[in-house]
Structure formats: structure tokens, C-alpha cells
Amino acid sequence: MSKYRTERVGRLIQEKIGALIVEGKVKDPRVDPFLTITRVTVSRDFSYADCYVSSYKSAGLAAGLEGLQSAAGFIQSQLAKAMRIRQTPKLRFHEDRGIREGFDMVQKIEGLSHDAE
């Protein structure tokens, strides 16, 4: 499969899972609407999709990941209905600390600039 196709399917999966979270279709109470799917990498044979999840609220990320992982079957069935591909990838959710670490870094830089003045 071409790299372009796997990237395109990854972006589509990211969009669809994000919509399910925002619309509240994932009924697990651990899944907070503030969870964000930052990126999705799909294996070359479309058997797995690694979904990286971040949150603006640092407290509920671990519980949100557990909720998403337990709802992975439901999410996968919704993806199968919405997408036109032969095989829907098995979803695996991972923590992505990139947004939070970037926010912390900006705060540290701002603190340094205030100290220098």
C-alpha cells in the first residue's frame, strides 16, 4: 500500500473518532469531551491503528485512555459504518503528552523572560 493512502486513512480515522468523542456518542463516563486525538498512524496492512490522545486537562487523561480502550470495539464498528475500506483497523490508544509539554514549556519561557526584566 502506498504511504499516501495510509496517511489519508489515518486522518480520516482521526476525524471520525474526534467527532464521536465531541458528539458524546462514546457513552463511557471516563471519556471526557476535552480529549483530543492528536494523530493516528495506520500499519501498512491496515490491521492496526495507533491513536495518540491528549487532553488540555491533565487530570483525566489516564482514565480517558482506559475509557477509549474499553470502547474501542464500539468505535471500530462506527468507523466500519462510516468508512469504505475492506478491513477496519484494530484501534490502540496511547497517551500523547505533546500538547501538555508544549504548554508547560511556554510557561517556563515566559517565566524566564519575566525574570530577565
Q: Are 52 and 29 in contact (CB under 8 A)?
A: no
Higher pLDDT, 50 or 117: 50
Instruction: Return the H-helix or E-strand segment holding 58.
Output: none
Q: What is the pLDDT of residue 116?
A: 66
List, for residues 19-78, the tens digit of each pLDDT value. 999 999 999 999 988 889 999 999 999 999 999 998 877 678 889 999 999 999 999 999
The correct answer on CATH 3.40.50.620 for the domain covering 3-116 is no
Beta-strand pair 48-55/90-95: parallel
Q: Are 47 and 87 in contact (CB under 8 A)?
A: yes
Q: What is the pLDDT of residue 34?
A: 86
